């Protein structure tokens, strides 16, 4: 059983974030401090810090209301149709984790995301599917489920909408936790990088703040509600000097491609970044960070 | 989203609304793009209350995410290109609700295809159309009405009784600002006026001919200029996608090509994804020899926007079309174009190549085609699939993320990284280029510089010498 604070089910995620920011990584770190010291350090009431310490000491265990069967099904990791992807993820994508799939145009990122959606639907779980740049239409989804065992159910289990702009995305993010319920297993954001292009003049500090908000909501949804989140992302160019340091156009020696948003929005310790790299028109590689 | 004003929200008190307005927040989108601490600071509202305001406002305007069973079907509506083989390659025809690009050299047939589609969209569904209308936006060229008339009169599926120029609106968009204005204001207004008029056809095709003409760059551009251009290109892409999905319109954008220059680039470390390597898969076609001499312009930035890229090449091949090789459709149309030649003579016909480079609705494929009086005709039987499902293998695990790279290999012969100019605007840079207010197209003093450079244009050799100097140092 992990002693990592972030995986502790009885501490609310906002508290976890606060503790982590103050430098507390594991429960052992907490046990060495007192309620008074903690309250001074975090700037919170002493009663709050006391409840944090008692909460952290409660042995983490499954909530009594969950049935054993649902526990078992909820703890599995998910294998998609592509063996190489499963291998890259160490067997499969664990539930309650975040997966970012990036790649150049023409790589099969959207197909892969849809494959995971199929798995959740076949397990009778609800999927929320957000499409931002017309890559996955309702017709494409229909075609995907045509040969699936869940062909009859997908229309009831998959919720779908378009959004294109950054304010639309942030509105969705703010409302995400109230949109999901016990039966929601998967959120697909296809692609998450596109809405950031609608406001290209936004300052980078504001952009980072928005990415941090997404991080916060993703962490809460995945840790507390066991929501699995899959995002697809376009790529951007990065210029590197000969020694590997970031360069600019005048000095840049080689141009590489990186996922557009950076890692700010991905909760550490529960995220995977999968890059699809075509090597020819028919084959490619997955790289996982 | 832009139209939701804070004053209209019922979940906020009047006091809250006036404080927000004093802080400069007028619309819900203003709030959503700021952080709680920023809002708190500028409006002097306590942070906890700001959080509650945000939550309440977001709940009030939550967008319902419906189950698929409660949504009207989308993505199945398509119209014919006029050629059955081409339709089949494209996944059934031109689907609405998507962004299509046709890229190629001048005289490869891009405009032909666009003109053709503007007519075919009008046909009734029994003939493969969607009874729609088209909006044709030209940048630098004129709308080729004569050629359109020729296609209308010669193609067997079309007839003047079914299609007319009245169903094709035309506007010229010579600048980026004009295009953005048309896409964000004029077109939505036109569409809603159309919807209210029960007798008018729905808009089902928007053509932009050609987007690259708006982004021609010259040697003396600065990085900042290119960054600005790149951002406008993304903005255009977003507007096109919104129009496409909201009204289920097929958007067709024509793009130009540039010569492919193969330069040696620095070797990549393991785990790195090379721009130059990847560009050849999504920016060029290579189904036959010579096809990859040209590549699409506007870089990765624009490629990321597309749902489909169709590459047209001239290829310089000519063939005598044998009796057994072509169906009557081509025979008829070829003789229509070469009407001066007696029926017995056989002229070699210029064979062109069409490649679907990538597509969200079909597999990459290639075929040969000819351009005739009736438009584009695919040579029957010439279509080849370039790939089936992708076969994927795992890379050797890279271990931890590579933030620091150790150099290896010989870097003394380094060439400058060759990037499409507009991709500079999207560079992930540690010294992030903070945006300013969007720079106007012409800054004060620009006209003077333009005039100066006209008078004192540097000869090409100066640039060559400068390049030689930097290389040898």
Contact A49, A39 (CB under 8 A): yes
- Cβ contacts of A130 on chain B, cutoff 8 Å: 65
Predicted model pTM: 0.79
B 120-159 residues with CB < 8 A to A: none
- Which residue among A135, A234, A252 sits closest to B360, beta carbon to beta carbon? A135
Residue appearing with tokens 């503790």: A19
A 165-184 residues with CB < 8 A to B: 165-168, 170-172, 174-175, 178-179
pLDDT at A181 over 50: yes
pLDDT given at position B396: 37
Take residue B261 and report the two structure tokens written for it: 């220059």
Chain A nearest CA to B146, separation (Å):
34
Specify burial of residue A65 (Cβ count, 10 A radius: 0-12, 13-18, 19+): exposed
Given pLDDT bands bounded at 50, 70 and 90, which one contains residue A254? confident
CA atoms within 13 A on the CB side of B353: 23
Alpha-carbon gap, residue B312 to B319, rounded angstroms: 18
Inter-chain touch A252–B416, beta carbons under 8 Å: yes
Alpha-carbon gap, residue B471 to A253, rounded angstroms: 13
Best of A103, A109, A134, A170 to mutate (most B CBs within 10 Å, chain B)? A134
Alpha-carbon gap, residue B173 to B75, rounded angstroms: 29
Inter-chain touch B33–A170, beta carbons under 8 Å: yes
Residue appearing with tokens 């590997």: A244
Contact A271, A215 (CB under 8 A): no
* DSSP-assigned beta bridge partners for residue A254: A240
- Cβ contacts of B183 on chain A, cutoff 8 Å: none
ipTM of the complex: 0.80
Given pLDDT bands bounded at 50, 70 and 90, which one contains residue A263? very high
- H or E stretch at B119: helix B110-120
pLDDT (tens digit, 0 to 9) for every residue of chain B, 473 residues total?
667 888 888 888 888 888 888 888 999 999 999 988 889 999 888 989 999 999 999 999 999 999 999 999 999 999 999 999 999 999 999 999 999 999 999 888 899 999 999 999 999 999 999 999 999 999 999 999 999 999 999 999 999 999 999 999 999 999 999 999 999 999 999 999 999 998 889 999 999 999 999 988 666 667 788 788 889 999 999 999 999 999 999 999 999 999 988 776 667 777 788 888 888 889 999 888 888 899 999 999 999 999 999 999 987 778 776 544 444 555 555 544 444 444 445 677 889 999 999 999 999 999 999 999 889 999 998 889 886 444 445 443 333 332 222 233 222 233 345 667 677 655 554 333 333 333 344 444 445 555 555 555 454 444 444 444 444 43
Contact B312, B108 (CB under 8 A): yes
Q: List Cα–Cα distances, B353 to A58, B98, B414, in angstroms.
A: 69, 23, 35
Residue appearing with tokens 């029957």: B380
CA dihedral B96, A141, A159, A153 (to 10 degrees): 140
Instruction: List the single residue in B with minimal CA-CA distance to A88.
Output: B394
Take residue A238 and report the two structure tokens written for it: 């990065």
Q: Which of B388, B352, B397, B345 is nearest to B370 (CA)?
A: B352
Tell me which DSSP letter residue B185 carries: I
Contact B118, B148 (CB under 8 A): yes
Chain B nearest CA to A103, separation (Å):
9
Asked if B278 is an interface residue toward chain A (Cβ–Cβ < 8 A), one would say yes
Inter-chain touch A138–B418, beta carbons under 8 Å: no
Alpha-carbon gap, residue B86 to B98, rounded angstroms: 17
Sign of CA dihedral A85, A88, A94, A100: negative
Chain B nearest CA to A144, separation (Å):
12
Best of A256, A259, A280, A284 to mutate (most B CBs within 10 Å, chain B)? A256
B180 C-beta neighbours (distance < 10 Å), count: 15
- Cβ contacts of B71 on chain A, cutoff 8 Å: 138, 160
B 339-378 residues with CB < 8 A to A: 357-358, 360-361, 364
Contact B47, B37 (CB under 8 A): yes
- Cβ contacts of A135 on chain B, cutoff 8 Å: 307, 360
């Amino acid at each position: 059983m992990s002693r990592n604070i972030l995986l502790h089910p009885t501490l609310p995620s906002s508290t976890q974030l606060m503790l982590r920011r103050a430098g507390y990584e594991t429960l052992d770190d907490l046990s060495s401090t007192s309620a008074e010291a903690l309250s001074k350090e975090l700037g919170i009431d002493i009663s709050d810090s006391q409840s944090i310490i008692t909460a952290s000491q409660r042995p983490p265990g499954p909530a009594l209301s969950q049935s054993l069967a649902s526990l078992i099904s909820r703890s599995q990791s998910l294998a998609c149709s592509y063996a190489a992807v499963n291998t890259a993820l160490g067997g499969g994508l664990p539930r309650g984790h975040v997966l970012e799939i990036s790649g150049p145009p023409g790589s099969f990122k959207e197909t892969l995301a849809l494959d995971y959606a199929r798995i959740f639907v076949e397990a009778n779980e609800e999927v929320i599917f957000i499409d931002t740049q017309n890559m996955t239409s309702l017709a494409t989804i229909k075609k995907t489920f045509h040969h699936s065992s869940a062909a009859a159910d997908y229309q009831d289990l998959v919720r779908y909408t378009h959004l294109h702009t950054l304010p639309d995305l942030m509105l969705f993010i703010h409302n995400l936790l109230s949109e999901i319920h016990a039966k929601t297993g998967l959120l697909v954001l296809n692609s998450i990088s596109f809405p950031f292009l609608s406001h290209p003049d936004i300052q980078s500090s504001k952009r980072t703040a928005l990415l941090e908000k997404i991080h916060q909501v993703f962490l809460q949804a995945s840790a507390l509600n066991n929501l699995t989140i899959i995002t697809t992302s376009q790529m951007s160019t990065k210029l590197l000097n000969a020694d590997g340091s970031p360069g600019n156009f005048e000095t840049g020696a080689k141009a590489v491609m990186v996922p557009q948003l950076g890692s700010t929005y991905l909760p550490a310790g529960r995220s995977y970044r999968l890059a699809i790299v075509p090597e020819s028109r028919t084959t490619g590689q997955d790289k996982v960070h | 989203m832009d139209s939701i004003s804070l004053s209209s929200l019922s979940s906020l008190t009047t006091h809250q609304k006036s404080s927000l307005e004093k802080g400069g927040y007028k619309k819900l989108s203003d709030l959503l793009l700021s952080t709680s601490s920023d809002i708190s600071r500028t409006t002097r509202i306590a942070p906890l209350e700001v959080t509650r305001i945000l939550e309440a406002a977001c709940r009030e305007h939550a967008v319902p995410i419906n189950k698929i069973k409660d949504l009207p079907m989308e993505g199945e509506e398509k119209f014919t290109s006029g050629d059955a083989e081409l339709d089949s390659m494209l996944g059934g025809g031109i689907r609405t609700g998507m962004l299509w690009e046709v890229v190629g050299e001048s005289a490869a047939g891009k405009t032909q295809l666009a003109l053709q589609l503007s007519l075919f969209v009008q046909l009734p569904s029994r003939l493969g159309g969607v009874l729609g209308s088209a909006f044709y936006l030209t940048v630098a060229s004129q709308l080729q009405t004569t050629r359109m008339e020729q296609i209308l009169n010669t193609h067997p599926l079309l007839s003047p009784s079914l299609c007319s120029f009245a169903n094709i609106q035309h506007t010229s968009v010579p600048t980026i600002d004009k295009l953005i204005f048309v896409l964000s204001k004029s077109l939505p207004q036109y569409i809603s006026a159309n919807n209210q008029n029960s007798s008018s056809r729905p808009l089902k095709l928007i053509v932009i001919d050609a987007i690259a003409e708006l982004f021609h760059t010259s040697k003396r551009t600065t990085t900042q200029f290119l960054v600005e251009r790149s951002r406008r290109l993304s903005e255009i892409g977003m507007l096109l996608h919104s129009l496409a999905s909201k009204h289920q319109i097929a958007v067709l954008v024509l793009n130009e090509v540039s010569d492919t220059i193969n330069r040696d680039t620095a070797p990549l470390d393991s785990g790195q994804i090379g721009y130059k390597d990847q560009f050849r898969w999504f920016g060029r076609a290579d189904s036959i020899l010579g096809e990859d001499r040209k590549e699409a312009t506007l870089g990765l930035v624009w490629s990321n926007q597309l749902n489909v890229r169709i590459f047209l090449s001239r290829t310089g091949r000519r063939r005598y079309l044998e009796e057994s090789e072509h169906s009557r459709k081509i025979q008829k149309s070829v003789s229509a174009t070469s009407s001066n030649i007696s029926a017995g003579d056989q002229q070699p016909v210029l064979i062109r190549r069409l490649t679907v480079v990538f597509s969200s609705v079909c597999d990459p494929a290639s075929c040969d085609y000819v351009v005739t009086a009736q438009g584009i005709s695919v040579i029957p039987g010439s279509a080849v699939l370039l790939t089936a499902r992708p076969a994927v293998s795992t890379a050797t695990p890279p271990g931890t993320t590579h933030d620091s790279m150790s150099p290896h290999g010989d870097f003394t012969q380094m060439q400058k990284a060759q990037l499409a100019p507009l991709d500079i605007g999207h560079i992930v840079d540690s010294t992030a280029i903070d945006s300013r207010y969007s720079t106007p197209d012409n800054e004060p003093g620009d006209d003077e510089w333009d005039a100066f450079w006209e008078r004192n244009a540097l000869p090409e050799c100066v640039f060559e010498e400068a390049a030689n100097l930097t290389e040898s140092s």
